[in-house]
Amino acid sequence: MTENIIEIDHLNFSFNKYKKVLDDLSLHIPKGSIYGFLGQNGAGKSTTMRLITGLINQQNSSNIKLFGAPIESQIPYVFQKIGSIIETPTLYLHLSCLQNMEIIAQIKQADKTQIQDILKLVELDNVQNMKTKQFSLGMKQRLSIGMALLGNPELLILDEPVNGLDPQGIIDVRLLLKKINKEKGTTILISSHLLAEIEKTCTHVGIIHQGKVQFEGKLEDLKNNAQSQTIRIKTDKVEHHIAKLNAIDIAYTAFSDSELELNVISEASIPEVLKKIVLADIPVYSLIKTGGLEDWFMNLTQKDNG
């Protein structure tokens, strides 16, 4: 049985009596995973992370376990095992990259001899003497992750780590997180509202909407839930091609006089379906793909939980 680094069971939380921020929330983050905590802005992701890291006092602290034990029984020592960036990273902009690392190492009472290895890992060793005010946003984020890695934490918690980054910065952070997970064995919890990024980065996913968990499981389970897709093709008169469609055994619906909706098993099966259509001498003037993971996720996180 897989060991869970974080276990949250039936957690409720509110800042006032009028509205719950978290509603019977349960999460299970396996050891060694990259866990994507996915939801729209305001869904409750940051509040959950603040509770896990002790930045908000819990109303019922027994609901959260870290490393197999209730969090309140381990404070403050448990935080030596955790590195975190919640919301905007804080840096001393007038100091160099190396000086920032040294200050955080001193605060965390971490071994300073690991600084150079970490700077190499986050690919900032060649600019370690540059003042951080000269850094791009992506470089600042990688430095912040490096600071969070001081002390060799078993768990890394990152709140929206690619928020605001340009495409190259997003790729750099994604590759870095995968590298940290693979080389150090660090369990990583990432919150995000970006489905595509979670899909490219994570091994496990939890989806939250209006404080409630809508899905939790492995990434492949999430994809299986949303596997069915539809493609809509524009052709000439649909009525001219009914016999051909029946002959090649493709499930279809006549969307209009000149449009067909075809059911496909998965995105990977679309080229084969189109090949059959073309070989059956059915012209294809345009194609629109609907359904799949993105549409499923949008429907899941836009529904009214009432």
Q: What is the pLDDT of residues 227-252, one digit of tens each?
A: 556 788 888 888 888 888 888 877 77
If asked whether residues 233 and 149 sit together in one domain, one would say no
What residues make up the domain containing 241? 226-302
If asked whether residues 252 and 152 sit together in one domain, one would say no
If asked whether residues 215 and 250 sit together in one domain, one would say no
Per the model's pLDDT, the better-predicted residue between 302 and 49 turns out to be 49
The band of 79, judged by pLDDT with boundaries at 50, 70 and 90, is confident
If asked whether residues 207 and 231 sit together in one domain, one would say no
In the block, tokens 């993971």 appear at 293
Looking at 224, 241, 259, which one is the last position of a domain? 224
If asked whether residues 131 and 254 sit together in one domain, one would say no
* 14-35 b/e (C-beta count within 10 Å ≥ 16 → b): eeeeeebbbbebebbbbebbbb
> Count of domains in the chain?
2
If asked whether residues 288 and 298 sit together in one domain, one would say yes
Is-cis flag, bond preceding 271, omega within 30?
no
Q: Which of 110, 113, 191 is closest to 148 using CA atoms?
A: 110
- H or E element, residue 10: strand 4-13
The band of 306, judged by pLDDT with boundaries at 50, 70 and 90, is very low
C-alpha to C-alpha distance for 170 and 172, rounded to whole angstroms: 5
The band of 35, judged by pLDDT with boundaries at 50, 70 and 90, is very high
If asked whether residues 183 and 236 sit together in one domain, one would say no
Looking at 224, 250, 284, which one is the last position of a domain? 224
If asked whether residues 213 and 232 sit together in one domain, one would say no
If asked whether residues 17 and 30 sit together in one domain, one would say yes
User: What's residue 303's pLDDT?
Assistant: 59
Cross-strand pairs, 169: none
If asked whether residues 114 and 55 sit together in one domain, one would say yes
Looking up residue 67, the CATH number of its domain turns out to be 3.40.50.300
The band of 266, judged by pLDDT with boundaries at 50, 70 and 90, is low
pLDDT above 60 for 305 = no
Per-residue model confidence as pLDDT tens digits over 188-227: 999 998 888 888 999 999 999 999 998 899 988 877 766 5
If asked whether residues 273 and 189 sit together in one domain, one would say no
What pTM did the predictor assign?
Answer: 0.79
